[in-house]
Chain A
């Protein structure tokens, strides 16, 4: 059985303004925006409304009614901003929250209310807490979005709870406006003397369609639950998510740790049952002052080990600032993959498939930052800088074998360093070279090995590589850039060190 809650904020903009600027409370002020060449009031505070000032009036009229009326600029999009923030705050009550412009929120509260001890206490709790934030609200819970919307705005009580199936009775006495109709249809209904929904609810549908169009029928169906009305949730609900509401606000590290361990246990049990493991997890803490704190971890292999995941989170728990207390913890797994069975690892002791190795990498990246672990695979390029490529996955296998048919140094400078060289004859290895002020006299040499620059990747000169050994037995990889050209000096570089 589905249950929906509609929350109406009758003074959303005015109260939002007071929340921002405390000195405005209990003063008569209005928000106004230019409209057709004059300033029109878009929202009025309760004190201003008491003096007969209503939204839609011209500012000049308002000034006439109340001396010293404060006029503030209407900020476009402010309602959207306020509602989104309030919607995020409401996620502590239900995962599916949608904004309902211009002044309401819609919540899918199916299966949530019993956690607060029934719908009555649930609605009262929300209303009290919103009041604490400074918002006046009217709340209705019904089996349909349309009915809840209507009863929140036009119901007799500030909180209306409608048992499922009885919405019809409650709706009968409401005015047609409660059906969210267009102004022209409402006007037409009024002219015909249809002042409540009950007056036309039982009329023949074909007559209603002919007189008022399909819009009216659609809205009626939505209010009566004959037609589905989907909500667009502010935050899409993660399929792998666990929630832990707390009776008392949590303020201590050990409290957070206990909550995290419980959530990890539940989530991992579910993952094990489904044969899956998580690659990314987000732990969110909802504070009582409507702030959300979150920490995130990633793993190299799909993991379903609560102990390991806890170890990763443990490094970051310091980043959660509980302030006055945390009332709700949510653990989400946005990225879940199929886990390989843990039995397999018995046969891969110490290899890259070992989950212990993946756990080590998670620990390292968790503490020291991403992008520090590199694994290289052979790439089919002769150009030394491009002869290796970085592996994307821990499991990725090399497509080709590593080659050792050509001499390659064990240490390679990422940027070749220029050296001064004396070379006797074209294409001969140099006699000696000077690197960082030290003169190396060459005793033995191999080469040249010409490596062409891959013209389809970048332009430039080729390199002639020489393996040389100096008088002390140190071995180097030198290259001359480009062709031998008579009198012109050549550019030589040191690129690597052989063992």
Chain B
């Protein structure tokens, strides 16, 4: 056994001890995040864990919702359902269709108090077989995130915590921390008008992986990195005009 194999084996052991399983089941590799997959341990999107997503403005919250919806869409492909817990009715079900979600399979739960949201989220994460659970809350302390993590370790459900305007960013037990910001939309042929949504996906923290930042475009039901070539060509056009 070579040294590299040994190190890879030890890395896996560490991940397991941290409560993260490398998914090898049928859901493995279903989430196609394009270039972002390079950042994850084993190059597979870690399902069965809790992810954290930070948003500061209402439009950043929309970007985060879209990003999570696209991941959920691929997790729900085999007819699974998911639970979306938020303080008020804000998600517009018809808007989820473009991210591959049949909105009638989403259960929306509206709760006013953050404490109730945490409780409901923990209860939902314990239900084996759910495709995913999304909770929108602004503050998440370490103890709560630990409880959520323990719940998913048993059930294998993927959880997302969307934190809108968090007061403080403590370390949490979540496997990752994302920040999604909207970018100018993109159209491959340069047609005027609003094109395919683009985001700057910033992976600030990932357990056992490499954080990074990518510019992604959601096009034809999958993520693609905003190709350098198109950016250069559009710059060229500007130059020509200038």
Contact = CB atoms under 8 A, between A and B. Distances in A.
Interface of A: 348-352, 354, 356-357, 359-361, 363-364, 367-368, 372-378, 384, 387-388, 391, 397-398, 402-404, 407-414, 443-446, 467-469, 472-476, 496-499
Interface stretch (B13-21, B29-37, B45-53, B94-102): B94-102
A402 B97 contact: yes
Interface stretch (B2-10, B126-134, B140-148): B126-134
B184 to A, nearest CB: 4
Contacts of B60: 474
Closest 8 CB pairs of A and B: A499-B66, A350-B129, A497-B62, A412-B92, A474-B59, A410-B95, A350-B80, A404-B97
Given A373-B107, A497-B58, 13 more contacts: A350-B130, A356-B127, A378-B93, A378-B104, A398-B104, A402-B102, A444-B192, A444-B193, A467-B193, A467-B194, A475-B182, A498-B62, A499-B67
B223 to A, nearest CB: 12
Contact of A351 (B90, B105, B106, B193): B105
Contact of A388 (B59, B67, B94, B131): B94
B182 to A, nearest CB: 4
Nearest to B100: A404
Given A373-B108, A374-B89, A444-B184, A411 B65 contact: yes
Given A363-B123, A368-B120, A444-B192, A499 B62 contact: yes
A347 B100 CA distance: 22
A444 B234 CA distance: 15
Interface stretch (B109-117, B165-173, B202-210): B109-117
6 contacts: A357-B129, A363-B123, A378-B104, A412-B92, A444-B185, A499-B69
A367 B81 CA distance: 22
B213 interface: no
B95 A446 contact: no
Main secondary structure of the interface of A (DSSP, over half): mixed
A376 B176 CA distance: 30
Interface residues of B, number: 61
Given A376-B104, A377-B104, A354 B123 contact: no
Contacts of B182: 472-475, 499
Contacts of A349: 80, 129
Contact of A475 (B105, B109, B126, B185): B185
A367 B113 CA distance: 13
B129 A411 contact: no
B198 interface: yes
A374 B104 CA distance: 10
A408 B194 contact: no
Given A368-B116, A411-B91, A497 B104 contact: no
A243 B193 CA distance: 70
A384 B92 contact: yes
Contacts of A387: 94
B105 to A, nearest CB: 6
B60, B83, B102, B184, most chain A CB atoms within 10 A:
B184
